[in-house]
A = this chain, B = another copy of it.
Amino acid sequence: MDKNNYIGFICVGNELFYSVANTNVHIASRICELDGFEINFNIIVPDDMDKIISAVDFCMKNSDILIISGGLGPTFDDITREAISRYTGRKLVFSDDVWKEIQQRFKERKIVNIPEKNKKQAMVIDGTSVISNTIGTAPGMMIQHNNRLIFLLPGPPWEFEEMLRNSVMPMLRKSIYHAGGLFVRKGFNIAGEPEAVVEEKTDKIRDEVKNLGGEWTILAKPYLIELWLKIPSSKKKVFDRVEGALKEIFQDSFIGNYSIPEKLAGILEEKKMVCCFAESCTGGLAGHLMTEIPGISQRFNGSIVAYSNRVKRKILKVPRSILRKYGAVSEQTAVAMAKGARKYGKADVSLAITGIAGPTGGSIEKPVGLVCMAVALSNRHIETKSFYFSGSRSTIKIRAALAGIDFMRRVIIQNVA
């Protein structure tokens, strides 16, 4: 608490599955954390008097600044104003100025008969500074109480974001609460390495970052480890040293701030190559991931999703004998699929993915999660690899698709000048 810049964020609302709350948590963290403040608690709480008061009390004890979104509307279940009034012991008073503003907002929307219940929105907490709402009708409020700043902001994400960014942050930046210790964040991605391996290999550089007062966070995503660094602005040159160290440690696994598909797109662009996929167990997911990248049509011809053996034979021309001898999930079948995709897809390089996504269809020799891959280059160079993925059907699919895309990238790096 010595830093004076902890924010407790409370999101009030009775909504199902919290999609608005989650949006506001995301907005608040983006705006506040990139501006040198830290949100130490995010609390999502229903429109319930006792629960709101409990959450406020908790944040008053643990944070320097409280930002509360939601519950400022005109309807019966909007009770945030009332909750703060009770908690602080300050009365709610009718504000003529606020009422005029609300009337103005309705006028702009060409609404003549203002519902009587909107008068509720002109009730403000005694001693509050009112924050104008340039988009909606609910004004925001700022209250100083027990050495804390409390902000009441509207719940709809676009109104919340506008008021937080353009009214609250400028006030906070000028306040004693802004510690002045601005920091910067940066993310680095590492493909295909287990979290514990990344952790072990980065011991030294991590200590260095921490000794400089930085933070180092590891996030495990499918087939990807994200490292997030937070460093005092004055020391941001350390990012270059971290990047250099990570490159040296992880070599081709280090992909900077790109995603796995973006990194493949980059290498295809660099080598002026066109690729094509043949997918079985991933069902089109590898193609979908590549085509999330705008402009990829120059480098990606398509994907033959050969889910049935019939399509594998008919379109990819996988010989019946190979399917019979080795089975659909085998490196041999993957090779035949990759060859077919490269040829009929008219590509410089192709990737084939065939596996067992489950939950059924596994055996002792070929368990659920086994995925065989092949990458074929136009110089007849072919590489294969088998993976054993764990997880649900969806998880196996996403891991397989990303591992396949990453495998193609590595084969190109190692074999194409």
**Interface residues in chain A, defined as those with a beta carbon under 8 Å from any beta carbon in chain B:** 14-22, 25-26, 29-30, 33, 40-48, 51, 54-55, 58, 62, 73-77, 105, 108-111, 115-118, 134-136, 156, 158, 162, 185, 187, 194-197, 199-200, 215-220, 228, 274, 276-277, 279, 281-288, 290-292, 294-297, 300-308, 310-311, 314-315, 344-346, 357-360, 367, 369, 388-395, 397
Whole-angstrom distance from the CB of A281 to the nearest CB of chain B?
Answer: 8
Which residues of B have CB within 8 Å of A74? Answer: 195-196, 199
Q: Is the CB of A16 within 8 A of B41?
A: no
Q: Is the CB of B291 within 8 A of A300?
A: no
Q: Beyond A40-B51, A105-B390, list 11 extra A-B contacts (CB 8 Å).
A: A22-B25, A41-B45, A135-B392, A135-B395, A156-B220, A284-B284, A284-B305, A287-B287, A287-B305, A300-B307, A314-B345
Q: Is the CB of A288 within 8 A of B397?
A: yes
Which residues of B have CB within 8 Å of A194? Answer: 111, 115
Can you list 25 A-B contacts with CB-CB less than 8 angstroms, sorted by A residue number? A14-B217, A15-B219, A22-B25, A40-B45, A40-B46, A43-B44, A44-B44, A77-B217, A108-B390, A135-B395, A158-B391, A277-B305, A283-B290, A283-B291, A284-B285, A284-B291, A284-B305, A288-B288, A291-B397, A292-B397, A294-B360, A301-B311, A302-B304, A302-B308, A315-B344
